Amino acid sequence: MRTQVAIIGAGPAGLLLSHLLHLNGIDSIVLESRSQAEIEATIRAGVLEQGTMDILKNAGVGARMQAEGALHHGIELAFDGRRHRIDLSELTGKAITVYPQHEVIKDLVAARQAAQGQLLFEVSEVELHGIDTVTPTVGFTHQGAATRIEADFVIGCDGYHGVTRPAMPLQGRQDYQRTYGFGWFGILVESAPSSNELIYAQHQRGFALVSTRTPTVQRLYFQCDPADHVDNWSDDRIWGELHARLENNDGWRVNEGRIFQKNIIGMRSFVSTPMQSGRLFLAGDAAHIVPPTGAKGMNLAVSDVHLLAQGLEQFYHQGQEDRLHGYTAAALKRIWRAEYFSWWMTSLLHNFTDASLFQREMQRAELECVVSSRAMATALAENYVGAF
Ligand code: FAD
Ligand code: DHB
């Protein structure tokens, strides 16, 4: 098989890149290790920045997002039994949309399939060769047959556990990493939203987050031990924990309902540089991870491939490579800003078991500053909506 751009991974990064290239008349093949049903059912992110919405809209894949997504003009911070609204739109002129990642995936898969794009599911044994040449190849197995793609470029969009980052030469690599001693327990609940806007709650028992999915489904999270197991958490225990962490003085309570999905995710901050070597480029979670508190992961994946698509377009249509050469530097500006914000939101809102009494008071004082100082609230809002 021959194509211009071989893309590994059909997450938001890989699918959107393939679609953006198609709009520019550039051919690609996407290889995905899971099935279409699986990628369309995996529950992950929910919050899209305005910049992400604009990119999806301009690429012609935003119709369902605009019709079914919920535009949010603010978020709430809850602590010490009180809730405080951060008015994102008033402070920044921008908003966010809650529209699930797997719906974005469905929209992108539908667009690629409608355009007869080559999207191969359930591939295995993906191997990269010759990335330091102008004719890299990708070997893989599909439907029992060993196959090979010859391409001009290989783009690694295969997430944190993929094969493309390990294929980068070790010389000159620098990784940056921080792990947190906690994770998030996430549930999906059949019930009406408890709140019109997301609530990020700090409590001595640990962080909790109230989010939504649809008018009949809520998405709730609470800080947990990353080594814990969902089977240790009965529905009653979960509700007890959520009520304790979200209790407040105005009588507001989270709506209970049937819990139909439970999962635990670990939290880390991670950046691997450079994001390119020869004809191999990395995008999205393959190159960097943020803890989910700032809701930045999918938005970064989208902004990476937006940059890459511009670089590839310049390469193919103008015969110039400066945008491709500058990809890592351009992408990292945004990535480090999002890393900073996600680390800061995580530090502000979670319980750190090793925190001294002094550090706990500093955390509470910082929360008071954010909700009482317009300058600090504006900084949070600008970072949250992605106005950078
Ligand atoms: P992925 O979505 O991980 O896609 C990679 C794809 O590559 C996968 O489909 C995988 O199967 C495939 N793959 C892996 N290895 C191979 C291989 N060897 N060969 C072929 N294919 C392979 N982000 C936000 O922006 N906002 C949020 O609100 C938010 N909330 C989150 C909540 C949770 C609970 C979690 C877990 C994440 C959240 N994120 C959020 C982060 C976001 O989901 C990720 O950052 C995003 O999925 C990254 O997209 P990606 O395309 O880079 O990688
Ligand atoms: C959701 C996830 C996040 O990481 C976040 O910060 C806000 C909302 C969600 O899945 O709805």
Q: Render pLDDT for 254-313 as a digit per residue (tens, 0 to 9).
A: 999 999 999 999 999 999 999 999 999 999 999 999 999 999 999 999 999 999 999 999
72 is catalytic: yes
Q: What is the pLDDT of residue 45?
A: 86
Q: What is the pLDDT of residue 74?
A: 98
Q: What is the pLDDT of residue 369?
A: 98
Q: What is the pLDDT of residue 250?
A: 87
Q: What is the pLDDT of residue 147?
A: 97
Task: Give pTM, 2 decimals.
Answer: 0.97
Q: What is the pLDDT of residue 133?
A: 97
Structure tokens at 273: 């540089």
Fold designation for 180-267+352-385: D-Amino Acid Oxidase; Chain A, domain 2 (3.30.9)
Instruction: State whether CATH 3.50.50.60 applies to domain 5-70+100-176+268-345.
Output: yes
Ligand 2 center–CA 212 separation, angstroms:
9
Ligand 2 center–CA 368 separation, angstroms:
23
Structure tokens at 186: 């996430």
Q: What is the pLDDT of residue 268?
A: 97
Neighbours of 303 (CB within 10 A): 24
Which of 209, 218, 269 best tests ligand 2's pocket when mutated (most atoms within 8 Å of CB)?
209
340 is catalytic: no
Q: What is the pLDDT of residue 216?
A: 94
Give the residues across from 174 on adjacent strands: 273
Domain boundaries along the sequence of the chain: 5-70+100-176+268-345, 180-267+352-385
Ligand 1 proximity of 101 Cβ (cutoff 6 Å): yes
Q: Which residues contact 109 (CB under 8 A, 6 or more apart)?
A: 10, 15, 36, 39, 40, 119
Q: What is the pLDDT of residue 361?
A: 97
pLDDT less than 70: residues of the chain: none
Q: What is the pLDDT of residue 65?
A: 97
Q: Which atom of ligand 1 is nearest to the CA of 162?
A: 15
List the catalytic residue out of 99, 180, 200, 327: 200
Ligand 2 proximity of 201 Cβ (cutoff 6 Å): no
Q: Which atom of ligand 2 is nearest to the CA of 212?
A: 11
